[in-house]
Amino acid sequence: MSHKSKKIDPLPDDSASLEEIAEFWSTHDTTDYPHAFRTVDATFDVQRRHYEIEVHEDVFHILKKKSEALHVPVEKVVDKVLRRELVY
């Protein structure tokens, strides 16, 4: 079957929920809808790097409780603890 004879489903309309749109794109190929996309110029400057580390579950629960008490993300608590212990 040639690409030109392939049946292309219509795109979800503006009233579609995010779930409906996600389901549509999980079962469809974006290359079948070139008219739905446009090329954009984008530049960005990476200011920070993020690293992934493993922690034991009990330590994570302590970090999470502390972050909730301080109303900050867990990552900020981890950064503060590591800086206190390793840097200063």
* pLDDT-based confidence at residue 87 (cuts at 50, 70, 90): confident
The whole-model pTM stands at: 0.47
Distance CA 66, CA 14 (A): 42
Distance CA 1, CA 12 (A): 25
With a CB cutoff of 8 Å and minimum separation 6, the contacts of 16 are: 24
Which pLDDT score is estimated for 64?
A: 97
pLDDT (tens digit per residue) in 56-84: 999 999 999 999 999 999 999 999 999 99
pLDDT above 90 coverage of the chain, percent: 78
Instruction: Tell me the longest C-alpha to C-alpha distance in the chain.
Output: 67
